[in-house]
Amino acid sequence: MTEFTLDLNDDQKQVRDWLNGFAKDVMRPAAAEWDEREETPWPVIQEAAKLGIYSLDFYAQQFFDPTGLGIPMAVEELFWGDAGIALSIVGTGLAAVGVLSNGTEEQIGTWIPQMYGDVDDVKVAAFCSSEPDAGSDVGAMRTRAVYDEAKDEWVLNGTKTWATNGGIANVHVVVAVVDAELGSRGHASFIVPPSTPGLSQGQKFKKHGIRASHTAEVVLDGVRVPGHCLLGGKEKLDERLARARERSAAGATSGGERVRNAAMATFEASRPAVGAMAVGTARAAYEEALEYATTREQFGRPIIDNQGIAFQLADMRTRIDAARLLVWRASWMATTGKPFTSAEGSMSKLFASETAKKVTAQAIQILGGNGFTREYPVERMHRDAAIYTIFEGTSEIQRLVIARTLSGMPIR
């Protein structure tokens, strides 16, 4: 087992510095424009693909880093550049994780390359789980998948919402109900291949933050996908459903037992990465505030000479470093196969996301009236940071997961 370390090796440092350069020289100059346009920044994604940043090879290299620090390190640097553009670059990764978490080796090899495309024809992918009436309550999911045995096809019907890259993706990964009586245990994930009839984009959302990232509804109307598009395969699904029915009949799911399903397997794997996103945004806002505080003068001296400002910056940096440590610990545990016995993944996401909201708000306060204008980036960073406590499990859900894990009780 790889030992936990806080020291990046030479290769990791080289990648970090490379990504930091891309974030500084390519992403930051374009950030305000694409935030205003509220459109997918295809030219920036294209540039990332040319450099090898937006690619399956780069993603796999970081994902399989034996220390577990490849993904959080890379994500932090990109989100330090700009959250909206960064989410457009890494959003495909959530769909990829959905396949990695639930798919067979053949499915992984077939579909993940199609999610990224190539340098000459860049593609994106979407993970579709949330619904208008089923966000945190995954048990309320209504999208149905019915098996047509005669044709060996699954028929999907329903509406998904809050899907990053929804409707514009080359490949959609869709979570649907296959056995409604089993609640969240009766879910499965499906690949919807490119240009499949019946899949369409619904409403595109105009958002408070991360506006350079495309977020939309995905409508599934009689979508037929081949049997091999069921992630994990039908035999594995039938075995899992049979075990779930046996447990239900025996009353084994009462009390505090935590059940796993297709969507939760994906979110558990990605929560530390969301924490890394938050750390990147918080760090960017802190650095802006520190620079401003050391150069802005009031009453004949830099404002950082005032304890009211200096102490805020001290707290900001402390929270950021603590958040990074929680993210790195959870990432290392996930990579080395150590179970989250204390909900360490949720802890990292909870603390880092709350840190990003607090730090970006403090940055605006330090910049005063300037911080409230779009002439300075902390205003945008504060808007972007709001999403971290909401998507992939709200802060309230993270606290619920942590409390249930620690107590073993069915806390509601």
Catalytic residues: 392
Rounded Cα distance between 186 and 113, Å, is 28
Residues 6+ apart with CB under 8 A from 150: none
Altogether, the residues listed in the chain come to a count of 412
Kindly give the pairing relationship between strand 215-226 and strand 297-298. unpaired
What does the alpha-carbon distance between residue 154 and residue 199 come to, in Å, rounded to a whole number?
14
CA-closest candidate to residue 286, choices 307, 298, 304, 305: 304
Name the residue among 161, 12, 28 with its Cα closest to residue 72: 12
Cβ-based neighbours of 317, under 8 Å, separated by 6 or more: 286
Q: 322: which 2 tokens?
A: 């603590």
DSSP per-residue string spanning 395-409: HHHHHHHHHHHHH-S
- Tell me how far CA of residue 362 lies from CA of 282, 314, 321, in angstroms: 10, 11, 16
Give the number of other CB atoms < 10 A from CB of residue 2. 12
Whole-number Å distance between alpha carbons of 378 and 373: 9
Q: What six digits make up the tokens of 9?
A: 């090796």
Q: Is the CA virtual torsion 18, 21, 23, 26 positive or negative?
A: negative
Distance CA 388, CA 368 (A): 24
